[in-house]
Amino acid sequence: MKIAKAEVIVTSPDRNFVTLKLTTEDGLTGLGDATLNGRELAVVSYLKDHVAPLLIGSDASRIEDTWQFLYRSAYWRRGPVTMASIASVDMALWDIKGKAAGMPVYQLLGGASRTGLMAYGHASGKEMPEIFDSIRSHLEEGYRSIRVQTGVPGLKAIYGIASQSMDTTDADVRYDHEPARRGAKPTEEDWDTRAYLKHLPGVFEAVRNEFGPDLPLLHDGHHRMTPIQAAKLGKSLEPYDLFWLEDCTPAENQEALRLVRQHTTTPLAIGEIFNTVWDFKDLIRDQLIDYVRGAVTHMGGISPLKKTLEYAAQYQIKSGMHGPTDISPVGMAAAMHLGLSIHNFGIQEYMKHGKRTDQVFEQSYTWENGMLHPGDEPGLGVELNQDEAGKYPYEQAYLPYNRLADGTVHDW
């Protein structure tokens, strides 16, 4: 089962996506997601110029060997561009193996460990009434776990707050679906940690009073706090029983979580920007986190993320795989097959893609009663409609960034 063709397809239906499509000599195809939000074309070059030529003629059935070859032979290891590229090869090879076996990938990973995957959605608003409306509309859409992000008095625009920044008239594209806005320059937003720390506990108190004690609530701190600020926030949120507090400190400073951990029992999640097991190793071994946020797309594929999660399982740490819209439907399907099969699944992030994206990527995964399921089609269960994909060429897009009142650049 030799690889005959390796194509890199860039499409921008609602946002940019990079997809690797491998075709074997006997006509089987496999897809892999290689989307790196805001830096997409760097991965395209890595794949086209350096990886695709190595794949032609190689054995598509040798997933582990191909992964080790691409990881080790480059000498320059890790990093988001390299690992997103390798991830797409790994996913595409699992897709092909599933199709060759006539089985969904989760069966090849050990079979289902549960009937479906609990997923959380993103509710947000600038003020309380909008936040309540957003939570209600997510509940109506079937979500049973909800991330809550809020505006902060005095701040004009904050990343992840949907309604304040609706700068599009296209009803199919909501800002919260597509936070990487198209344009030649990133949008500048503002930030004030003291104002945020003062405001946030009151928001969660109001949400708990309105929606009761049972609804799992999550919050993303987006790397914005110092360790002591994060410790203070974790403590002040304890009465509201969060499912997790995510990215409370910059992910690079892993020691920070030790300090946070010493002060609060609010569960901690981190790792959406991590690329390998090495980024998680100490955090897992020292039990400084409760959830691993790694994405199949950015952790080098299904194979290495499965190993990372199995390591985490020894410490009762669970999965919380990253699933915003910049993970393509192919990457989401891969996460679902992995999540269904591992023992220590925790929760899956799920932001619905826009309509055009759903037309480009034909999916067989399902969303019912707040639960995702990858479906039972052979392989990953997602196919790329190349005619549709061809209608939407790449468009430059950047994530926004933050400055403090005095002009200092801050984590966003």
CB of 399 to Mg ion, least distance (A): 12
Which residue among the candidates 120, 159, 240, 291 is catalytic per the annotation? Answer: 159
CB nearer ligand KDG, residue 192 or residue 349:
349
* Binding-site partner at residue 324 among Mg ion, ligand KDG, none, CB < 5 to 8 Å by type: ligand KDG
* Binding-site partner at residue 189 among ligand KDG, Mg ion, none, CB < 5 to 8 Å by type: none
CB of 292 to ligand KDG, least distance (A): 13
Q: Find all residues with CB under 8 Å of 17, minimum gap 6, and list them.
A: 10, 11, 33, 35, 40, 328, 357, 360, 361
Q: Which two tokens stand for residue 366?
A: 């399902």
Active site residue 353: no
CB nearer Mg ion, residue 220 or residue 290:
220
CB of 37 to ligand KDG, least distance (A): 3
Q: CA 76, 77, 81, 87 torsion: positive or negative? A: positive
Active site residue 159: yes
CB nearer ligand KDG, residue 298 or residue 337:
298
- The 10 Å Cβ neighbour count of residue 151 is 22
CB of 38 to ligand KDG, least distance (A): 7
**Closest to 101 measured CA to CA, from 1, 241, 224, 237:** 1
CB nearer Mg ion, residue 38 or residue 375:
38
Binding stretches for Mg ion (CB under 5 A): 220
CB nearer ligand KDG, residue 54 or residue 399:
399
Binding stretches for ligand KDG (CB under 6 A): 37, 220, 272, 322, 324, 326, 349, 399
CB of 65 to ligand KDG, least distance (A): 31
Which residue among the candidates 122, 177, 219, 222 is catalytic per the annotation? Answer: 222
* Binding-site partner at residue 176 among Mg ion, ligand KDG, none, CB < 5 to 8 Å by type: none
Q: Which residues are catalytic?
A: 159, 222
